[in-house]
Chains A and B, each alone.
Chain A
Amino acid sequence: MSDAAPAPPPVDRDGFNRMILAIAAHGDREAFAALFKHFAPRLKTFLMRSGLSATAAEEIAQETMLSVWRKAAYFDPAKAGAATWIFTIARNLKIDALRRERPVAQLPSDADETPDEAPDGEALVLTQEREAKVRAALAALSAEQAHIVRLSFFQDKPHVQIAAELGIPLGTAKSRVRLALTRLRTLLEDLG
């Protein structure tokens, strides 16, 4: 379990939402610097653990933060909180970067943008509740299952690493991955 979560710093999550809104409203550079200081180094860790080189991870972390600045007007805290929104931007840029490494057919793409529900009056509260539930669900997992869930976000074949780490057959590792993700889903439903 190399990556036991460090003691969470006292983070004002609502503060991050307000910072993105301040960038959208009046190009707030101080808010951008604060967001950058928190998220860019974590994005770099995330991308390196996803298999990117330190250089590529740093580039995409910066590209993600630049997108945060440019797309701030599209940020809607009723749909997703700051961390979730930034995670999704990084996810899309990571896919684009992996595509660029291959021979490119010249066609622009918006295919990664999935349809979103129209926001309504209660959506903001529901989103904050959902994100609090998600943190509670992650905290309720056993250490091994939390490790598996994190690995699943970093790797496309998490069971391969689990099998190697625990010295268990691939098939067994596969069922442990399935169990961990199903438990996460169940926890999310129970908390709801």
Chain B
Amino acid sequence: MQQQARTAGETAPRRHHPSEETLLAYAAGSLAAGPAVVTESHLALCAPCRARLAAFRAAGGAILDALPPTPLAGEALEHCAALAALPAPARPARRLPRRQPRDIVLPASLKAYEFGRWMWLGPGVRSCRIIVPAQPRATARLLRIAPGCKIPEHGHSGAEFTLVLHGSFCDGHDRFLPGDFSEADGEVDHQPISDPGVDCICVTALEGRMRFHGLLGRLTAPFGGL
């Protein structure tokens, strides 16, 4: 990391945050696993979004509280009380992830995950998969983009969620600094470019699958999953 590196920390206010839809889906547990990883990384850095999440969770609690009841089987309470009388099973020991990238400093929010290998994606662009437990199809990845490089031109079938961890990029409209969260609609073809100076490192995930255009798309297709 170079000296002028801007690293995500709790200090500066973020300018780009997850949408209401995304935070609510996260609160409700319906956000896909990959986008949830990206959202968690933003929440770890953004107190205002943690407050919005707490409000949405409280809304979830209030909605639950006001729902009409659906009866359970007659003996459900007795069954549950009998289980409650037994000692709780020991929690499985948490295994430490075996493989993590050594060449970058991971934020605490990502330290529980195991990672794939860095793969070359195009000039100045490398990517490595974030392996989400029990979610083999999760699309979360780290992207490392050399200064002034284009992320290969792409559109995607669903929304794309990106959080800047280090460095910065510009998507043609806005600049994204460490801690900033970008949510690109599936209908837009966009071409983010990293700013000069330092590598830009992001955590990114898709709702659908990404389609690269042109030769690069065909070249990267065999690697799959991006």
Contacts and interface: CB of A to CB of B under 8 A. Distances in A.
A137 B32 CA distance: 27
Interface stretch (B115-123, B131-139, B145-153, B167-175): B131-139
A37 to B, nearest CB: 7
Interface string A81-114: 1111111101110110001101111011111101
Given A29-B81, A41-B72, A42-B65, A88 B57 contact: yes
Interface string A164-181: 000000000000011001
A62 B134 contact: no
A190 B80 CA distance: 42
B15 interface: no
Dominant secondary structure at the A interface:
helix
Contact of B80 (A66, A83, A91, A177): A66
A134 B55 contact: yes
A30 to B, nearest CB: 11
Contacts of B30: 50, 155-156
A58 B44 CA distance: 33
Contacts of A156: 25, 30-32
A114 B43 contact: yes
Interface residues of B, number: 62
Contacts of B81: 29, 32-33, 36
A48 interface: yes
Interface string A46-78: 101110001001100110011001100000000
A153 B62 contact: no
A131 B61 CA distance: 9
A57 B47 CA distance: 33
Interface residues of A, number: 80
B95 interface: yes
B62 A138 contact: yes
Given A86-B64, A107-B133, A48 B43 contact: no
A95 B29 contact: yes
Contacts of A114: 40, 43-44, 50, 53
A11 B136 CA distance: 43
A134 B95 contact: no
Interface in B90-136: 91-95, 112-114, 131-136
A161 interface: no
B73 to A, nearest CB: 7
Interface string B36-59: 110010011001001011110111
B215 interface: no
A80 interface: yes
Interface stretch (B16-24, B188-196, B197-205, B216-224): B16-24
A29 B82 CA distance: 11
Given A46-B63, A62-B72, A66-B83, 16 more contacts: A32-B84, A41-B70, A45-B69, A58-B72, A80-B57, A87-B60, A88-B61, A91-B29, A105-B131, A107-B95, A108-B93, A111-B112, A111-B132, A154-B28, A178-B20, A181-B24
Interface of B: 19-21, 24-25, 27-32, 36-37, 40, 43-44, 47, 50, 52-55, 57-73, 76-77, 79-81, 83-84, 88, 91-95, 112-114, 131-137
20 contacts: A6-B68, A40-B72, A41-B69, A44-B70, A45-B67, A46-B63, A57-B70, A83-B61, A84-B58, A86-B64, A87-B60, A114-B53, A130-B54, A130-B55, A134-B55, A134-B61, A149-B59, A153-B27, A156-B31, A181-B24
